[in-house]
């Protein structure tokens, strides 16, 4: 049995996506041989509740406060050293609210994933739920993508789609998107950890086959269909 894929998770806040990853990797569906292990959780804020979730799960934690460093490059250099101490095969951004430098992104090319609360390429950046409402979008959702230098511009791995209801608010959308995030992120991490997902020269490959530009699309009726 190959060693499980070492994963380091970066976060800045609540950590519900971290919790979904913890729960999915500990759900016994792999005959007790999880394809991945979360080696560490690293936060850029000491008040991130995700740190408590990690501690409760017995996962190592580190805090690097970006304000303690003289600029982005210095912070990212220290962050890389902290991450590499855990020798990850995969780095997962789970609500990590810092724009990463080109040097950082290059260092983790092909093994750096992010989850974003919109149907990319729509609504890159922040405040996506309100922007979807303001734009009158009929659909919204979330996206997992490989991280590149272009903010939220990396190649898509998987998206989950939800309908926007007339009575929706940014808060209600966030709640319904979170449910989908907690399905698609564990799915993508498992694919990567099992060697099924990789970033090829021309884009993401799943089982050797190019994924569509949308990534694997889960047209959610809000009860996510089984994915491969
Ligand atoms: N080079 C890249 N860095 C990051 C990416 C990426 O695709 N390429 N994804 C983001 C995640 N993200 C949205 O999914 C995101 C995070 C943070 C920001 C942002 O504007 N951050 C501000 C600070 C905001 C704050 O502290 O509240 C900043 O860094 O100045 C936009 C999008 C992770 N990084
Ligand atoms: N641009 C990055 C971004 O906005 N990411 C979003 O932050 C939230 C973190 O929630 P969590 O801390 O409960 O996992 C998630 O909704 C994620 O999509």
- Write down the ipTM of this complex: 0.96
Instruction: Measure the CA–CA gap between 20 and 181, rounded to whole angstroms.
Output: 9
Instruction: Measure the CA–CA gap between 128 and 132, rounded to whole angstroms.
Output: 6
Parallel, antiparallel or unpaired: strands 90-93 and 60-63: unpaired
143, containing H or E segment: strand 139-146
Q: Per-residue confidence at 224, pLDDT binned at 50, 70, 90?
A: low
Query: Which residues, in sequence order, are CB contacts of 68 under 8 Å at separation 6+?
Result: 75
pLDDT at 114: 98
Instruction: Measure the CA–CA gap between 59 and 224, rounded to whole angstroms.
Output: 28
Two tokens, residue 223: 């009860």
**Around Cβ 186, how many Cβ atoms within 10 Å?**
20
Domain range 1-108, its CATH number among 3.40.50.170, 3.10.20.30, 3.30.530.20, 3.40.630.10: 3.40.50.170
Instruction: Please determine whether the domains at 1-108 and 117-142+158-228 fall in the same fold group of CATH.
Output: yes
117-142+158-228 is classed CATH 3.40.50.170? yes
Place of tokens 């991130």: 48
Point out the ligand 2 atom lying closest to the alpha carbon of residue 116: 18
Two tokens, residue 50: 């995700």
Mean pLDDT of the chain: 94
Point out the ligand 2 atom lying closest to the alpha carbon of residue 50: 12
Q: Judge whether residue 28 has pLDDT over 70.
A: no
In the annotation, is 140 catalytic? Answer: no
Distance from residue 206's CA to the centre of ligand 2 (Å): 24
Q: Do 142 and 116 form a contact (C-beta atoms < 8 A)?
A: yes
What pTM value is reported for the model?
0.95
Q: Which ligand is nearest to the CA of 72?
A: 1
Q: Which ligand is nearest to the CA of 67?
A: 1
Q: Which residues line ligand 2 (CB under 6 A)?
A: 11, 13-17, 50, 94-95, 115-117, 142, 178, 181
What are the extents of the domains in the chain?
1-108, 117-142+158-228
Point out the ligand 1 atom lying closest to the alpha carbon of residue 104: 1
pLDDT tens sequence across 68-95: 999 999 999 999 999 999 999 999 999 9
pLDDT at 90: 98
């Amino acid at each position: 049995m190959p060693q499980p894929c070492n994963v380091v998770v970066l976060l800045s806040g609540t950590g519900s996506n971290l919790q979904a990853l913890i729960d999915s990797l500990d759900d016994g569906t792999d005959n007790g041989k999880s394809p991945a292990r979360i080696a560490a959780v690293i936060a850029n804020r000491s008040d991130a509740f995700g740190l408590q979730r990690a501690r409760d799960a017995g996962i190592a934690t580190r805090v690097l406060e970006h304000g303690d460093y003289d600029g982005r490059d210095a912070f990212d250099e220290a962050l890389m050293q902290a991450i590499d101490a855990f020798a990850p095969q995969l780095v997962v951004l789970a609500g990590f609210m810092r724009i990463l430098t080109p040097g950082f992104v290059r260092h983790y090319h092909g093994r750096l994933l992010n989850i974003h609360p919109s149907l990319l390429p729509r609504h890159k950046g922040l405040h996506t739920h309100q922007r979807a409402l303001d734009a009158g979008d009929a659909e919204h959702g979330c996206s997992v993508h490989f991280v590149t230098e272009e903010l939220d511009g990396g190649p898509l791995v998987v998206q989950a789609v939800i309908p926007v209801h007339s009575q929706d608010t940014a808060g209600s959308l966030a709640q319904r998107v979170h449910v989908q995030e907690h399905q698609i992120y564990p799915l993508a991490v498992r694919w990567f950890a099992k060697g099924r997902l990789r970033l090829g020269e021309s884009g993401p490959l799943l089982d050797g086959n190019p994924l569509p530009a949308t990534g694997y699309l889960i047209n959610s009726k809000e009860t996510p269909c089984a994915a491969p």
